[in-house]
Amino acid sequence: MTAIEVSDLSKTFQRGKRALNSVSLKIEEGEMVALIGASGSGKSTLLRHLSGLVNADKGPGRISILGKVMQQNGRIGKDARSMRSNIGVVFQQFNLVRRLTVLTNVLMGLLGAVPAWRGTLGLFTIDEKLKAMNALQRVGIVDQAGKRASNLSGGQQQRAAIARALTQGAKILLADEPIASLDPSSAKKVMKTLRRINEEDAITVLVSLHQVDYALDFCSRTIAMRDGEVVFDGPSKQLTPAFLKELYGDDSIDLISDKRRKAFKKKIAKESDLSLVAG
């Protein structure tokens, strides 16, 4: 089944600024796909539309999630609320309640599935708590369950947010710049966690990234956006510095690290030497 299907989606904000321009894409169940682009390219706007939080422009635009209509013709679908239970969202700033324990934050993934009065009072069953603890175990921070969320590092807080989505039972995970504010070591741990749940649970993952390095290392497919449009959709391995220069011009320098750029140049030089020897 197709997990996410977008066709001819546009979004215009005040003063006529078009954030999305006839965007179309399709992501199958079980894929892990990177969404890249410079700031203002439309990545975050697209993710908000996919989760049913924002209406697109009126017109032919349509979004389907797991075969059901999330929105079309600028209107949120009637089943959008129930559909959101299948969509876990991980934000750049974690969106945890800092004064509550990590376990309680993860249990909030169940709020859409338990009676409202229990959720309001924070009353969860033993089985529900065990489910949350298992999710924390899987993301590698079960030992932090009793701590206040504010006491965790940024990387740990982001993994707690992923555990919340696991507890929710999400079939699709939308991660909006989840590693933008993390150091390289923590960023790798978060990306490894996303890849592991994608592989082990067949959860569809669409992760918005600012640096191409992580797309190359963790996602076989990348969708690149520029000025609200999809300008590339294909194998991540095609995203060489030269190709990114074609797509983004001078902005490409912010999308790939110096280390990756040097490694690519070294590879090209080696391949050139080998071709000379063969010739």
At residue 52, φ and ψ (nearest 5 deg) are: 75, 25
263 three-state secondary structure? helix
pLDDT of residue 181: 86
pLDDT of residue 68: 95
pTM score of the predicted model: 0.90
Parts of the chain with a pLDDT under 70: 264-279
- What count of Cα atoms within 13 Å lies in the side-chain half-sphere of residue 146? 1
Closest CA to 163 of 104, 243, 232, 241: 104
Within 10 Å of residue 13's Cβ, how many Cβ atoms?
Answer: 10
pLDDT of residue 138: 95
192-246 residue pLDDT tens: 999 999 999 999 999 999 889 999 999 999 999 999 999 999 999 999 888 888 8
pLDDT of residue 253: 79
Closest CA to 31 of 236, 234, 219, 224: 219
pLDDT of residue 258: 74
pLDDT of residue 91: 86
Rounded-to-integer distance, Cα 160 and Cα 135, Å: 9
pLDDT of residue 274: 55
pLDDT of residue 225: 95
pLDDT of residue 259: 75
